[in-house]
Amino acid sequence: MYAIVDCNSFYCSCERVFRPDLQTKPVVVLSNNDGCIISRTDEAKVAGIGMAVPYYQYKTQIEKAGVAVFSSNYYLYGDMSRRVMDTLRFIVNEGVEDRVEVYSVDEAFIRLDHIPDTSLNEYAHRLKTVVEQWTGIRVSVGIGPTKVLSKTANRLAKKNPGSSRGVLILKTEKEIRDALESTYVESIWGIGGRYATKLKEEFGITTAWQLRHVPEEWARKQLGGVVGVRLLRELGGEPALEMKDPLEKKKMIATTRMFGARVQTLQPLKEAVATYTARAAEKLRRQHSAASSIDIFVVTNGSDDQLYEYHPKTDHRYFNLPSPSSVTHELIGYAMPLVDELFREGVKYLKAGVILGGIVPENSVQANLFSEISAPKANKLMEVMDNVNFSMRGDKVRYGATGLTRHWRMRQDLRSNRYTTRWEELFEVK
């Protein structure tokens, strides 16, 4: 059996831990640049605030309903996430083997082979209670014979927190059938908007229970090949999605941002891209990898500026490195000519990004005799820079190419304190 433990309205819950006065009040958290609403509590849902909707369109409604609004505070959420995951590992692993797969910042799958079916209920409640007591974050627990069924259980547990108290276990055929009959296809984990529309409009399939009974070859044809087949098997109770190895490294590393103010000249565009490249290179080094390709993209508003519509258009250029690297100045050196190539006079840029690909372990990098940069020296420099920036915080050591004024930086007008990761922003108890 598999469990999935999912934090309720995670970002909002993190804010509430340090603002007990908001415990029963509506709360929302905004995306970077205070653009969209990316987390909302049940009270905010009731007040009619949608998910992933532009903030400015709901501003008056939010004020009228007395909703507390926060800019995203990823330092805080990242640290709270670590606390939740550490707690789960402490309970589940018993110092033996790793049975926890951290699936996202607020969710983890747990393999439960070691728990007898008769104890599942007690175990699920224990997970929930301990995480809530130790971290202050509320969670829901779903359990089923496959990952997809555990996700289904979790969704239903969250919908009826009263009766099932945030825990739902799908074990018997009857429990599974009831759950799948009350799950619409668009709510199945793995069915997105496109497939949901197709299933309903073209084939009249509306529930997960109906979908469970289509032939495998049909699923292969209509739902994206082997992906569809796996989904079908999982719905039928046959595990087709493995637990992921926690040591697996990212195969792609991206740093992308909307600009706080539009950029129209080359210099700030290059500063922004250099800054993102430096950030991406840091992520690369943190997992001890090197990248063999770099892709730079820029986004402009494709529509005529007179129309106040958002029609983003993307353009990009990429470069394959002569040999994989994780050295910031080397990567910036490859990135800058790509920005020159992309830049067009008179165009307003809304966003830019860096994507590093072709990721390999850093120790597999072969010395390139023709490389101009002496690798050992550069790597040592990177280590020193990372150490200084990590211990002092706030990017004390930067490259000149990343700019001094940085007018393009994002807005974050409503950010809460980084209570758990900055001494000067600690939570005060009077």
From 16-24, 81-89, 129-137, 348-356, span contacting DNA (CB under 7 A): 348-356
Q: Which residue carries 């799958």 as its tokens?
A: 109
By the rule CB under 7 A, 293 interacts with DNA: yes
Under a CB-based contact definition with an 8 Å cutoff, are residues 282 and 370 in contact?
A: no
Sign of torsion over alpha carbons 299, 302, 303, 304: positive
**Please, what is the minimum distance in Å from the beta carbon of residue 412 to DNA?**
11
String of DSSP letters for 264-278: -SHHHHHHHHHHHHH
Please tell me the distance from the alpha carbon of residue 137 to that of residue 128, in angstroms, as a whole number: 10
Select from 110, 188, 274, 331 the one that contacts DNA (CB under 7 A). 188
Residues listed for the chain: 430
Among 9, 33, 277, 402, contact with DNA (rule: CB under 7 A): 33
Q: Which is nearer to DNA, 58 or 115 (CB)?
A: 58
Q: Does 224 bind DNA (CB under 7 A)?
A: yes
Selected binder of DNA within 227, 266, 336, 378 (CB under 7 A) = 227
| Residue among 91, 133, 96 at smallest CA distance from 108 | 91
Which token pair is 31? 């995306």
38 near DNA, rule: CB under 7 A: yes
Beta strands in 188-288 (DSSP E): 253-263
Tokens for 264, please give them. 């129209």
How far apart (Å, rounded) are the C-alpha atoms in residues 238 and 216?
A: 13
Query: Minimal CA–CA distance to 127: which of 178, 188, 85?
Result: 85
Applying CB under 7 A, the span of 42-50, 99-107, 204-212, 376-384 interacting with DNA comes to 99-107
| DSSP summary character for residue 393 | -
Applying CB under 7 A, which of residues 70, 77, 109, 195 lies at the interface with DNA? 195
Q: How far is the CB of 167 from DNA (least distance, A)?
A: 18
Beta carbon of residue 137, minimum distance to DNA (angstroms, whole number): 13
What is the C-alpha radius of gyration for the chain, rounded to an integer number of angstroms?
Answer: 24
Residue located via tokens 């999982």: 234
Q: Which of 164, 210, 222, 256 binds DNA (CB under 7 A)?
A: 256
In this complex, which beta carbon is closest to DNA, that of residue 33 or of residue 328? 33
Name the token pair of 121: 């209920």
Contacts with DNA, 62-91, as mask; x by CB under 7 A: ------------------------------
Helix (H) or strand (E) holding 18: none
Query: CA-to-CA distance for 207 and 19, rounded, in angstroms?
Result: 40
Which of positions 307-336 make contact with DNA (CB under 7 A)?
A: 308-310, 318, 320
Between 348 and 422, CB nearer to DNA: 348
Range in contact with DNA (rule: CB under 7 A) among 111-119, 169-177, 189-197, 397-405: 189-197
Segment contacting DNA by CB under 7 A, of 201-209, 328-336, 346-354, 399-407:
346-354
Residues in contact with DNA by the rule CB under 7 A: 31-33, 35-36, 38, 52, 54, 56, 103-107, 151, 188-196, 224-227, 250-258, 262, 276, 283, 293, 308-310, 318, 320, 350-351, 353, 410
